[in-house]
Structure 1
Amino acid sequence: MSFTVAIVGRPNVGKSTLFNRLVGKKLALVDDTPGVTRDRRPGAAKLIDLRFTIIDTAGLEESSPETLQGRMWAQTRAAIDEADVTLFVVDAKAGLTPADQTLAEMLRKSGKPVVLVANKSEARGSDGGFYDAFTLGLGEPCPISAEHGQGMLDLRDAIVAAIGEERAFPEADEEAVTDVDVREPAGAAEDEEVEQEYDETKPLRIAVIGRPNAGKSTLINRFLGEDRLLTGPEAGITRDSISVEWQWRGRTIRMYDTAGMRKKARVQEKLEKLSVADSLRSIRFAELVIIVFDATIPFEKQDLHLVDLVAREGRAPVLAFNKWDLIEDPQAFLADLREKTERLLPQVRGIRAVPISGQTGYGLDRLMQSVVETDRVWNRRISTAKLNRWLESQQVQHPPPAVSGRRVKLKYMTQVKARPPAFMISCTRPEALPESYLRYLTNGLRNDFQMPGVPIRIHLRASENPFEGKKKKR
């Protein structure tokens, strides 16, 4: 992107609505409740012929630095320092407030270009608030409606005037395409018989999920080495799913911080429902998922539900037992955790679990190594010849049961896709094969082909009968 723009303003003036309008997607959560946005959220914006990076920020609420509002404001200040241009959004319908005056004074002192935006200008009675915006001393306000998309051409002209045409429209040879995902899509090259080598350099998309206050944001901040995400002792601070990018051993990692997910019965408020839905989208978009457990109270029912959710979505899960620095007898506690992991999570037998501390940084390198090893298994492909030899040996050791006096014959097996590994077995009477035998085959695949801790899919297909439908000749 050629330049960076930050959207600032007091709460509930329409910053996130404008952010969604510019990125062309409903990425940021939007609600009538003031103060929905807390972390700063970047996105790739498109405005007419402009391409730039946009940052959504929390609304200005003057408070002491120790409070949640104070930490939110620190995130907004970091976005202003990072940006080349600031969009100062005011509510033309409600008019100016002392918070607007305070923020305008701070933006003037920053010395960076500021575009004054009068949002909600389509409403009746907004003329008074629009003309009041001149008193802020930041030039002529740009009237827009972020909700309805009005005034976007005027906003484009104002941004170009603030940043300059040379910066707004770089030369064509400088516009390198960096956002194209060149990775092989899930399930690609399914017809190849050769077992492909694992690519150690391909970028990874990782979602970090868990119950509220499990330490997800603190963990990501420790990976980044900076206070990029808002943290604190309060439960449920994170609302939006924020993506950050960093390097681990020369490999690009895009990690998604998500809102804590409570039991479904306890999620009543609309805002929390939106946050959970955003977290679920992050899981579907990710390749691997780190489920953060609170080591002081591990294996709550909700923790098990989250692991099962990840397995059903087909993502590669890794467990992280956070707050390990609070455990008094680590060795005995670790042995107990291993026993419970094997007993309570049979659907992902062999799942990798790592004790960590996001506060001190303990175990983070081992966690990333486990993530890479799990991704290697998740991408594994097995040749058809090996699978059919294995299937024959499995039937010799444990033949399929006879149902209604007729035995089910397993004839042929092949891997139809990876990510997650999925296999197809051609057999007679697939509807009669019991689930217990499928679990037997799944466990055999895990043990014999070293595929622990990832979901495995086995699909059955009836073999074609060449004489079906033909009348018997007399």
Structure 2
Amino acid sequence: MLDSETLSLRDQGLPIIAIIGRPNVGKSTLFNRLIRKRRAITDAMPGVTRDPIPEKWLLGNHPVLLVDSGGVKLDQEGLDFLVTKKSLGLLQIADAIVMLMDCTEITAEDEMLIKTLRPYTDKTIIAVNKVDDPVRDDLVWDYHKFGYPRVVGISSAHGLGIDVLEENLLEMLDMVEMEEAPEEVHRVNIAVLGKPNTGKSTLTNLFTGQDTSIVSEIPGTTRDVIMGEFSYKGTPYTVLDTAGIRRKSKVDEDVEYYSVNRAIKTIDDADVILLMIDVTTGLVEQDKKIAQLIVRRGKGVVLVFNKTDLLSGVGNELEAIKDRARFLFPILSFAPIVSISAKEGLDVDKLLDCVWSVWRQLNKRIETAQLNNYLKEWSDAYQPPRGTRGHFKVYYGTQVSAPPVRFLFFVNRKKDFPQGYIQYLKNCIRRDLGFTQIPVEVELKERRRNTPNTRL
């Protein structure tokens, strides 16, 4: 049951933000930093703050009630118990909770508090304090394993990361000023790549509805990167048509060499690459080199088999060509294949639907809690193998970027970690988390020894 003092905080009619944490993690320092004045007493001695201290505060342009609380000691009695009871009472009435932690260690008290706040995950931010040195940035990752969707690193003493904390609070309280941050219209950037004379310019002109690229049977007609724009199903697209990429041994002119370099750099400017292949000749070794460039940069790629109008139509000729491509180029095993005729305009809508599907996967994010629930299932189904120094272990993971889609897993020993198990994790991520059509990168980080030995 809540005491009258805690209940009275509601009477002010303002959103309530509560700062919660064990003693001496810097709650009062953070409180003073946010309200920009010294209201709460700060001291190295734990337990200086006992009663909740409320203060009206302007978050962005919105008035809120910020409350500093006494240090939580879940296993104490007497006065400490009363302080803890008052602090935990704030959880029920708070609209947002800042759970403050110390980056230098995760204590048993921290883990008990994290477990206690589990029912309030949706309105809680874990703020990892004392990240006052770039070297300590990595320590923040240790807190992602607990499955809270919002984790930020800050330094209350030096004001570092406070802006990020405030942005998270604004989002959580749904106070983002929409007139200042209108919904972004997502533009999909496509690059059309491939060896010369595979129909890149014909497809580009079909997309844009105009002759932006010169179309000719003479290989190498396009010397530069041609940009065009169009819209499909309400989504704006930019398409980049490039010079055909050849082997360097076949590049004789300086201008041709320059064009090839520009085409390679275009990969960095695109979201999804359309790798054009003449269905009458199939994939060649140079296509594999392009594919390696694309995969290394974490870009989406669609294999576009063009000129299907030239096939005989006898038997399963096209399927045989696709099967051969899969066999010869395992690096592109994830890439969707679409067969078209750019000249006749056949199945181009199917191609664009595929591009949109790939783009959505590239920009997909998985919450840490969801990832680690799956990680437990994957580990139960197939444990990491045993090495000379015992079993390899995967403790927890988090998605660190999109795009490119990258996952970071914390392990007991990074050196000599089995490549086969890394590939297993990639396969599981694609299969269970919806990344079936794009490259997925998995990185490992060795966890510090003084971190609690909790294994997912």
TM-score interval, normalised by the smaller of the two chains: 0.5 to 0.7
Structure 1 partner of 2:196 = 212
Determine which of 248, 259, 266 is the counterpart of 2:250. Answer: 266
Structure 1 partner of 2:227 = 243
Relative to the length of structure 2, the TM-score reads 0.57
Asked if the contact 1:348–1:454 (Cα under 8 Å) also holds between the matched residues in 2, the reply is no
Determine which of 278, 288, 309 is the counterpart of 1:294. Answer: 278
C-alpha distance in 1 between matches for 2:301 and 2:351: 12
Cα deviation, residue 255, structure 1? 0.5
C-alpha distance in 2 between matches for 1:439 and 1:466: 29
Asked if the contact 2:412–2:447 (Cα under 8 Å) also holds between the matched residues in 1, the reply is yes
Q: Percent identity?
A: 32
C-alpha distance in 1 between matches for 2:295 and 2:253: 27
Residues 371/330 of structure 1: CA separation in 2 closer, same or farther (3 Å cut): farther
Cα deviation, residue 339, structure 1? 2.0
Does 1:202 find its partner at 2:186? yes
One-letter amino acid of the counterpart of residue 435, structure 1: Q
C-alpha distance in 1 between matches for 2:445 and 2:202: 47
Does 1:362 find its partner at 2:346? yes
Of residues 389-398 and 212-221 in structure 1, the stretch that sits farther from structure 2 once superposed is 389-398
One-letter amino acid of the counterpart of residue 270, structure 2: A
Give deviations 1:127-186, integer Å, cap 9, x for gaps: xxxxxxxxxxxxxxxxxxxxxxxxxxxxxxxxxxxxxxxxxxxxxxxxxxxxxxxxxxxx
> What SS does the corresponding residue of 1:232 show, helix, strand or coil?
coil
One-letter amino acid of the counterpart of residue 347, structure 2: G
Asked if the contact 2:225–2:240 (Cα under 8 Å) also holds between the matched residues in 1, the reply is yes
One-letter amino acid of the counterpart of residue 347, structure 1: I
Residues 217/462 of structure 1: CA separation in 2 closer, same or farther (3 Å cut): same
Determine which of 181, 193, 203 is the counterpart of 2:149. Answer: 193
Structure 1 partner of 2:53 = none
Residues 403/413 of structure 1: CA separation in 2 closer, same or farther (3 Å cut): same
For these two proteins, the number of residue pairs brought into alignment is 276
Determine which of 376, 379, 385 is the counterpart of 1:395. Answer: 379
Structure 1 partner of 2:267 = 283
One-letter amino acid of the counterpart of residue 329, structure 1: G
Give deviations 1:182-210, integer Å, cap 9, x for gaps: xxxxxxxx99938x9xx995111111000
Asked if the contact 1:210–1:291 (Cα under 8 Å) also holds between the matched residues in 2, the reply is yes
Asked if the contact 1:348–1:453 (Cα under 8 Å) also holds between the matched residues in 2, the reply is no
1:263-412 equivalences in 2 (<5 Å): 263-329=247-313, 332-412=316-396
Cα deviation, residue 330, structure 1? 6.6
Of residues 343-352 and 373-382 in structure 1, the stretch that sits farther from structure 2 once superposed is 343-352
Asked if the contact 1:206–1:286 (Cα under 8 Å) also holds between the matched residues in 2, the reply is yes
Structure 1 partner of 2:447 = 463
> What SS does the corresponding residue of 1:430 show, helix, strand or coil?
coil
> What SS does the corresponding residue of 1:350 show, helix, strand or coil?
coil
Cα deviation, residue 246, structure 1? 1.4
Cα deviation, residue 439, structure 1? 1.0
Which segments of 5 or more consecutive residues in structure 1 lack a partner in the other structure? Answer: 1-189, 469-474
Cα deviation, residue 441, structure 1? 1.0
Relative to the length of structure 1, the TM-score reads 0.55
> What SS does the corresponding residue of 1:229 show, helix, strand or coil?
coil
C-alpha distance in 2 between matches for 1:400 and 1:433: 9
One-letter amino acid of the counterpart of residue 417, structure 2: L
Asked if the contact 2:279–2:321 (Cα under 8 Å) also holds between the matched residues in 1, the reply is no
> What SS does the corresponding residue of 1:292 show, helix, strand or coil?
strand
Cα deviation, residue 467, structure 1? 8.6
Structure 1 partner of 2:154 = none
C-alpha distance in 2 between matches for 1:202 and 1:410: 36
Asked if the contact 1:420–1:454 (Cα under 8 Å) also holds between the matched residues in 2, the reply is no
Which segments of 5 or more consecutive residues in structure 2 lack a partner in the other structure? Answer: 1-140, 151-170, 172-182
> What SS does the corresponding residue of 1:431 show, helix, strand or coil?
coil
Residues 325/373 of structure 1: CA separation in 2 closer, same or farther (3 Å cut): same
One-letter amino acid of the counterpart of residue 149, structure 2: E
C-alpha distance in 1 between matches for 2:446 and 2:232: 46
> What SS does the corresponding residue of 1:284 show, helix, strand or coil?
helix
Cα deviation, residue 271, structure 1? 1.5
Residues 276/201 of structure 1: CA separation in 2 closer, same or farther (3 Å cut): same
C-alpha distance in 1 between matches for 2:365 and 2:328: 28
